[in-house]
Amino acid sequence: MTSSLTIAISKGRILDDTLPLLEKVGIVPEENPDKSRKLILGTNQPDINLIIVRATDVPTYVEYGGADVGIAGKDILLEHDSSELYEPLDLGIAKCRLMLAELVQYKTRNGRLRVATKYTRTTRKYFTEQGIQVEIIKLYGSMELAPVLGLADKIVDLVDTGNTLKANGLKATDTICEISSRLIVNKAAMKIKRDKIKQLISSLEKIV
């Protein structure tokens, strides 16, 4: 149905921060997303549905039309790097920083720098711009272990309070990017459902 609107969101901090925003613009899910096992949730607006997907999949669902709009962190969007998405609005939620970190007792060594991260595209771009050649080791979690166990010299990861770094003997050295969640829109949907999407953007703009 071209008249309905599907919004893709991921569970966790982004969902927790997004639901109050949606409520302020008059969109409330019919069931609690944290308790429901359903992945497609109806709302109090009969023509608006929410889909709950993995954070890294939000841009993919929006790009290929599984959802018309989505809410995704800038870290995910930098890695996804698609020209098929509009990014009309910074929602200013789920804020943190993508940072370079190393052991507090870090010692430089000979040879190519090894950096552990799940943000491989963004990390490579960052070091290329610095003119530094690095070997990137892709990890999906527990990044702080990599320098501790000698797997990598440095890590690139999201940092909120910095407590996890500190607890594992690491310190942040450079901010690569300030991160917050953005509203993203499928380009085809923007043409077909222009009025509906424009209304959503305008309503959210007023509260953020």
pLDDT 10s digits, 133-157: 999 999 999 999 999 999 999 999 9
Q: Where do the domains of the chain lie?
A: 5-94+180-207, 96-178
The predicted structure's pLDDT at residue 110: 86
Handedness of CA 135, 138, 142, 145 (dihedral sign): negative
> What's the average model confidence in pLDDT over 162-179?
97
Does position 1 have pLDDT exceeding 50, yes or no?
no
- Indicate if the pLDDT at residue 111 is higher than 70: yes
Instruction: Collect all residues with Cβ–Cβ distance below 8 Å to 100 and sequence separation of at least 6.
Output: 115, 126, 154, 155, 156, 172, 173, 174, 176
Q: Which CATH class is domain 96-178?
A: alpha beta
Helix axis angle for 194-207 and 13-24, nearest 10°, is: 100
* Rounded mean pLDDT, 14-37: 95
Q: What percent of the chain has pLDDT over 70?
A: 99
Average of pLDDT values for 79-101?
A: 96
pLDDT in tens, 38-81: 999 999 999 999 999 999 999 999 999 999 999 999 999 999 99
Q: Which pLDDT band holds residue 34 (cuts at 50, 70, 90)? A: confident
Backbone φ and ψ of 103, nearest 5°: -60, 145
Strand, helix or coil for residue 124 = helix
Within 30-100, where are the H helices? 58-63, 74-80
Q: Look over the chain and give the mean of its residue pLDDT values, rounded to a whole number.
A: 95
Q: Domain 5-94+180-207 maps to which CATH number in 1.10.510.10, 3.40.50.1100, 3.40.1380.10, 3.40.190.10? A: 3.40.190.10
Neighbouring CB atoms inside 10 A of 110's CB total: 4
| 8 strand-pairing partners | 51, 70
Question: Does the pLDDT value for residue 2 go beyond 80?
Answer: no
Residue 176 pLDDT exceeds 70: yes
pTM of the model: 0.91
CATH topology identical between 5-94+180-207 and 96-178? yes
Could you list the beta-strand ranges (E) of 58-112.
69-73, 85-90, 96-103
Place of tokens 């899910």: 29
